[in-house]
Structure 1
């Protein structure tokens, strides 16, 4: 529960739990969500991360802005999905999402040896779909009436992936994009 309060604060930044197409926990549900993710980590099917900005004064960890996760972990293939990602509204457009995805993708391809990394999102979450495409992922397809949303409605899920042979080009593009952003911020 080390990051509980920071995650509550991040979720309140934009009242993200009210966005019907996401699954961001409400402040009073954050502890249960952290427990759920940690239980899935213990079972080997998920590895959750808290995302933080870098403190400009120290270069160390700054404020908590959200969560992201390796999920649907398949140790045999090996293959992971990067998902259940959310960031505080004030962090949108900051470069924090592509920066965290670069770290997760690099680890998946270069350390874990994954032949593919998958991303999934709600068909109607256009912001997420665009962000995934900007990472360099290709849309594989749409799983229609795939699962239930929090409100019980059937959800269409868009599936994207990056393949191992695409990774060097995707990595170079992400590194260039982040370097360009850093130069513009100076």
Structure 2
């Protein structure tokens, strides 16, 4: 596959599927994001870095600065009804080696265990592998965030290892980071698996 220009990795793009839509993050999404993060009090979870409602505008600014620097590509997620559901991003963009991480993700509690997360991951992985030509996509989470780990493993990602004492969290505790990845050779199987999860008749995916 021909090499994709570096700026394509951080270029704003809208990704759409039957169960979710990803739009380039914008300050116009501020009110919806504040309402979404208050659904379930996600900002109170100690093991995640979910923005506080009072600092949501600052978080949007931060993500957009990282986008302008070519390091991130941030999105706002919307559910099938068009309601703001949360945030996600490509981060740690390495255009030279065609690698990205999917992360900085949070989703309103009422969308948990719905098809939204699976659809968003399928859209992001499809764009990363099929459009950007990535050789691998990483996903990372706190070692103790079992809900996130199970969700990542359901995608078909493989655990590469655990970075011990990797980061200091706002409360002063140290985070052990689980690093997962999906490689380009694994992508066709993962894609079929995710599509099967979305197509099968059940209440969650």
- Fold-level similarity (TM above 0.5): yes
Shorter-chain TM-score: what band?
over 0.9
1:19 aligns with 2:45: yes
CA RMSD for the aligned pairs? 0.8
Give 4+ residue runs of structure 1 displaced > 6 Å after superposition: none
Q: Which residue of 72, 78, 82 corresponds with 1:52?
A: 78
Indicate the SS of the match to 1:150: coil
Q: Which has the higher mean CA deviation after the structures are superposed, 144-153 or 67-76?
A: 144-153
Q: TM-score, normalised by structure 2?
A: 0.85
Counterparts of 1:88 and 1:8, CA distance in 2: 10
Of structures 1 and 2, the one scoring higher in RCO (CA 8 A, sep 6+) is: 2
1:85 aligns with 2:105: yes
Q: TM-score, normalised by structure 1?
A: 0.93
Counterparts of 2:122 and 2:184, CA distance in 1: 14
Residues 91-106 of structure 1 mapped to structure 2, 5 A cutoff: 91-106=111-126
The residue that corresponds to 1:9 in the other structure is 35
**CA offsets per residue over residues 127-185 of structure 1, 9 Å max, x none?**
000000000000000000011112121110000000000000000000010011xx446
**CA offsets per residue over residues 35-93 of structure 1, 9 Å max, x none?**
000000000000010000112xxxxxx10010010000001001000001100000001
Counterparts of 2:202 and 2:170, CA distance in 1: 39
Residues 1-186 of structure 1 mapped to structure 2, 5 A cutoff: 1-55=27-81, 62-180=82-200, 183-184=201-202
Gaps of 5+ in 2: 1-26
Counterparts of 1:154 and 1:25, CA distance in 2: 19
**Count of matched residue pairs:** 177
The residue that corresponds to 2:21 in the other structure is none
Indicate the SS of the match to 2:64: helix
Gaps of 5+ in 1: 56-61
